[in-house]
Amino acid sequence: MSDAPKPFMTTPTTNTSPAWPGQCALITGGADGLGFAVARRLAGRGVRLILLDTNLVALDRAASQLGPDTLGLQVDVTDPVAVKNAVDDAVGKTGRLDILINSAGITGRTNIKSHEVDLADFERVMRVNVNGCLHTFQAAVPHMLRQNYGRVLHFASIAGKEGNAGMLAYSTSKAAVIGMTKVQGKEYAGTGITVNAIAPAVIFTELHTTMPEEQIKYMTDKIPMSRCGTKDEVAALCEFIVSPEASFTTAFTFDLSGGRATY
């Protein structure tokens, strides 16, 4: 008998997860920006897409670009009843749901000190960025549990890890998303469902064109690479995180920060 050490294994290595091309992904905020970039990447893998967004014009445009199998639904993620109905109806049409990506988000008012923050604006950001993730998670995960497989990816931000001055609501909401990811990843670790987050630094999207120039400069000045990230870079990392191969990472936040992240 050989004395060679045995590899450390607690489960068989056979991959019994669904084939990548046969999967179905639900993406919030999928009509444009980062959500659309990720949707386009997954479409290239043969993944069927369900896009949730509030912008009906953008949804129609996205569906026309992504192909006839794309299902675009006008849904406000802050409404839990509307979210559950939309998800259940969509899964009824697609037959399964393997991937949930929560990319819908807003910054709220920025470039203001904390004592100047409007409570209504703060609560609106939390409803979209935090409650929205929870609503879709609660609607999607029962479908994943029935098939003993799923990939959940929440969009957080480097602002949630390190805080961006002048962005109290946004930074607080993204810190909450990171905390949510840690809890959910642990709770579902034995079910075949992984739950992770991604924490980008400044990624140039349509969202950032609405922010004050000094706010963008404040954020990019902190990036050692001295540049914004790209939507394609985000999409590539997301593709790995929600892939069948990424089966042993959960409750983790992936950085995409050009060297800014300190932990």
What lies within 8 Å, CB to CB, of 247 at 6+ separation is 15, 17, 194
- The answer to whether 102 touches 136, Cβ cutoff 8 Å, is yes
3-state SS, residue 201: coil
Q: Which of 170, 188, 218, 263 is catalytic?
A: 170
Half-sphere exposure of 201 (CA within 13 A, CB side): 23
Residue among 41, 167, 150 at smallest CA distance from 96: 150
Residue 196 corresponds to which tokens in the numbers above?
A: 């992770």
Burial profile 163-183: b = 16 or more Cβ within 10 angstroms, e = fewer: ebebbbbbbbbbbbbbebbbe
Residue 224 corresponds to which tokens in the numbers above?
A: 């050692």
The question of whether 188 is a catalytic residue gets the answer no
d(CA 116, CA 73): 36
Catalytically active residues, by annotation: 170
